[in-house]
Amino acid sequence: MSNDPQAIRRLVVLGRRYDRLFAIVGMMAMMVGILTLAVLLAGLIHDGAERLNWDFFQNFPSRRAERAGILSAIVGSSLVMLITAVTAIPLGVAAGVYLEEYARRNWITEIIEINVTNLAGVPSIVYGLLALGLFVYALDFGQSILSAGLTLALMILPVIIVSTREAIRAIPGAIREGAYALGSTRWQLVRDHILPYSTGGILTGVIIGLARAIGETAPIITIGALTFIAFLPPSPVTGDFPFLSFEWLESPFTVMPIQMFNWLSRPQAPFQVNAAAAGIVLVAMTLLMNGVAIWLRVRFRNRIKW
C-alpha cells in the first residue's frame, strides 16, 4: 500500500461506498420478508373481504359457496383449544418448574432435556402419526375433539416447557435464598414466589404455543378429521343435573385451518373466495395472539427490575 495521502483518501471513500452499498443490500434483504407479509395480507383481504359478513360466521359449510360459513369450524377450534390448553399448560409448567427448581444434575435430567429439545424439532405431522396410532386406535378415542386437543397439546408442550424455564431462570437467586432463610419449603417457594414472578414469561410462551396450535392443519388431517361438518358438538352445559356434559369430547369436528384447506382444494373459484375469507379470520386470530405475546414480553421486561 502506498503512503500517498490521495491514495489513502480514495481507499477511505471506496470503503465508505461499499459500506453504504451493503447497507442498501441488507435493507432490501430485510424487506423481502416484510414485503411478502404485506403482499400476503393484502392479497388475502383483496380476495376474501367480500365474503366476510355476519352470515359467514353464522353459517355451516354448504355445497353452495355463497351460503357456506365457518360456524362449526370456529366452535370446533375453540373446543380443541380448550382441551389443548387444559392439558398442555399444567403439564408444561410443571415440567419447566421441575427442570429448573428440583432436578439434580444427573443423567435422567440430561435425557429429559435432550428429549425436550428434540421434540421441539419434530415435524408437526409426526405428532399426527403418533396421535393416529395412539389416541385414535390404541386408546380408542376415535377421530374426536379429545384426540385432536391432546395431539396439539403434545405438539406445543416443548414451547411451554422452554418458555417456563426461561422465565424461571430470570428470577435472581436471592429470592430463593430469602424464602429458604424464612423457613419455607421448596413447594412454598415455588407457589408463593417462583410461579407469581414468572407468570408473564410463562403466559407469553403459552400464547405463542396456542397460536401455533390454532393454525396447525397437518396433524389434525392425519388423525382423520372430517371436513364437512354441518352440525355443532353436543353442548357442554345441559339443563339436567349435573348440568355439565362431556359428550362433546367424543364428537366429530372440524377446525378453522381444515375448513380453509377443504375450500382451497376445490377447483371452483367461489370456494376459493371462502378459503381467502377463512384465511383472513385465521391470520387475524394468530396475529392477534402473537401480538399480545410480544406486547406481554416487552411489558414484563420493562416493568421488572430486580
Partner 1 sequence: MIRENPSQSSVGSGSIDPGSRFAHSVGRHVGERIIEVLLFLAAFSAVAVTIAIVAILVFESTEFFKHVSLVDFLTDTQWTIMFADKHYGVLPLLAGTLVTTTVALMLAVPVGTVTAVYLSEFANPRVREVVKPTLELLAGIPTVVYGYFALLMVTPALQWFMPDLPGFNMLGPGLVIGVMIIPYVSSVAEDAMRSVPASMREGSYAMGATRMQTSLRVVVPAATSGIVAAYILGISRAFGETMVVAVAAGQQPNFTWDPREPGATITAFIVQVALGDLPHGSLEYQSIFAVGLVLVLMTLFFNVLGHLARKRFREAY
- Which residues ranging from 39 to 98 are in contact with partner 1 (CB under 8 A)? 39-40, 43-44, 47, 90-92, 94-95, 97-98
- The CB-of-127 to partner 1 minimum distance in angstroms stands at 8
Interface stretch with partner 1, choices 74-82, 128-136, 198-206, 228-236 (CB under 8 A): 128-136
Do 118 and 212 form a contact (C-beta atoms < 8 A)? no
Handedness of CA 138, 144, 149, 152 (dihedral sign): positive
- The CB-of-120 to partner 1 minimum distance in angstroms stands at 9
- The CB-of-180 to partner 1 minimum distance in angstroms stands at 5
Which CB atom, from 67 or from 186, has the smaller least distance to partner 1? 186
- The three-state secondary structure class of 205 is helix
- The CB-of-110 to partner 1 minimum distance in angstroms stands at 11
Cα–Cα distance, 294 to 276 (Å, whole number): 26
Using CB under 8 A as the binding rule, the residues of this chain from 230 to 249 that contact partner 1 are none
- The CB-of-244 to partner 1 minimum distance in angstroms stands at 26
Neighbours of 124 (CB within 10 A): 18
Contact pattern from residue 12 through residue 41 relative to partner 1, giving x for each residue in contact according to CB under 8 A and a dash for the rest:
---xx-xx--xx-xxx-xx-xxx-xx-xx-
User: Counting beta carbons within 10 angstroms of the beta carbon of residue 172, is it exposed (0 to 12), middle (13 to 18) or buried (19 or more)?
Assistant: exposed
Q: Is 137 a binder of partner 1 (CB under 8 A)?
A: yes
Using CB under 8 A as the binding rule, the residues of this chain from 203 to 232 that contact partner 1 are 208, 211-212, 214-218, 221-224
Own/partner long-range contacts of 140-144 (Cβ < 8 Å, ≥24 apart): 141/250, 142/250, 143/223, 143/224, 143/225, 143/226, 143/252, 144/249, 144/250, 144/251, 144/252, 144/253
Q: How far is CA 258 from CA 73, 77, 83, 277, 286, in A?
A: 8, 10, 18, 13, 15
Which CB atom, from 238 or from 298, has the smaller least distance to partner 1? 298
Interface stretch with partner 1, choices 58-66, 183-191, 234-242, 245-253 (CB under 8 A): 183-191
* Helix locations, the chain, DSSP H: 5-48, 54-58, 71-97, 107-121, 124-131, 145-169, 173-181, 186-189, 195-215, 218-222, 256-264, 269-303
Query: How many residues of this chain interact with partner 1, rule: CB under 8 A?
Result: 89
Of 108, 120, 219, 112, the closest CA to residue 160 belongs to 120
Q: Is 121 a binder of partner 1 (CB under 8 A)?
A: yes
Q: Is 187 a binder of partner 1 (CB under 8 A)?
A: yes
- The CB-of-86 to partner 1 minimum distance in angstroms stands at 14
Which CB atom, from 79 or from 275, has the smaller least distance to partner 1? 275
Which CB atom, from 199 or from 272, has the smaller least distance to partner 1? 272
